[in-house]
Each structure stands twice: as C-alpha cells, then as structure tokens.
Amino acid sequence: MKTNKTNLLSLFLILLAFIFSNKLSAQNNDIPLFDNMSLSRTAGNTTNQNLEEYVYENIESGYFENGNLSFAEENFKRLYIDMASLNSISRLDLNNVEAIIIKISSLNDLNTRINYANTFSGLSNLKCVYINSEIQVSKFQIENLFTNVPSTNILNYYGVNIPR
C-alpha cells in the first residue's frame, strides 16, 4: 500500500515538473519584435507578467480560423487567428480583445504581408500581438511580415513553438 502511494506521488511530481518545464520553455522562446517600440508603459518585469497573462493564462478566448469565428466566449479578451483570416478581421466586433495570437503553421504563411496600422486600427483595447510560429523562423522573417508599424505601447512578441 505504501509503495502504491509513493509511486503515485512520484508520478504526480514528474507530471507536474513536465508541465512546469514546458511552460517555462515556451516563455523562454518569447522574443520582442520591432526594436523601435516604445514600451515605457510596461518596462522590465511588468512586461513579462503582461505577456504571460495575455499569452499563457486562462482568459476568455475566441478562435478565428479559415474566416470563421468559433468557440468564442462572451466578451472574449484573446483572439487566436490564423494568417489566412487576418484579412477578414475587420468584419468582427473585437472591442474587448486585448491580445491577438497569430498562428504561423507553414512557410507559405511567411509570404503574407500585414499592414499593422490598418489591420489592428479598430482594436481600441489591443495590448498584445503575439506570433506563435509552428515552424522555424527568425525575428527578421517575422518583422518582414508587417508593414506600416506605428510606434506604440502594444506588446509585440513572437515565439517558435514547434509541436512534437
């Protein structure tokens, strides 16, 4: 009986360590974009806390893929979107959205150009744009996706999180 409890506790601790290490490794991959951005409002440790909240915490979310909004909780604050749907973002009511997580899943996605100012201009509460790449990319490649990037206090980060 004691051996079963010990084994169960060991298994639980290993599982907990695995979950915690995966979260840390994903956060260690987060790289700021657009070096000219003014982040005086959220400097240092506060920036990391805000990024963690917008990208990793459990908050109300919506999913916009292939031009369709699905699994959207009421008044969602985070929007997951694929590159192909970015052109259709203006037709959504996104007044409550504070974070947009853009998924890059193929090399073809890197051929898309995003006019930053036009695409996100209607999002008055936007505080974070995060690019989640499932392929190996460089900061240079990600920054080249965007045109017309204004100086702003919006957190702009990307992470390479290749599924295993």
Burial of 141 (0-12, 13-18, 19+ CB in 10 A): middle
Q: Please check whether residue 14 lies inside any domain of the structure.
A: no
DSSP lists the bridge partners of residue 68 as: 65
Q: How many domains does the chain have?
A: 1
Q: Does the residue 133 lie in any domain?
A: yes
Whether 54 maps to a domain, the answer reads yes
Q: Is the pLDDT of residue 68 over 80?
A: yes
Do the domain assignments include residue 7? no
> Which tops the pLDDT comparison, 88 or 18?
88
Q: Is 163 exposed, middle or buried (0-12, 13-18, 19+ CB in 10 A)?
A: exposed
pTM of this structure: 0.73
- Any domain includes 15: no
Per-residue model confidence (pLDDT) at position 41: 42
Domain assignment present for 94: yes
71 vs 78, 79, 84, 121, CA distance in Å? Answer: 12, 10, 18, 24
Range of the domain at 111: 32-160
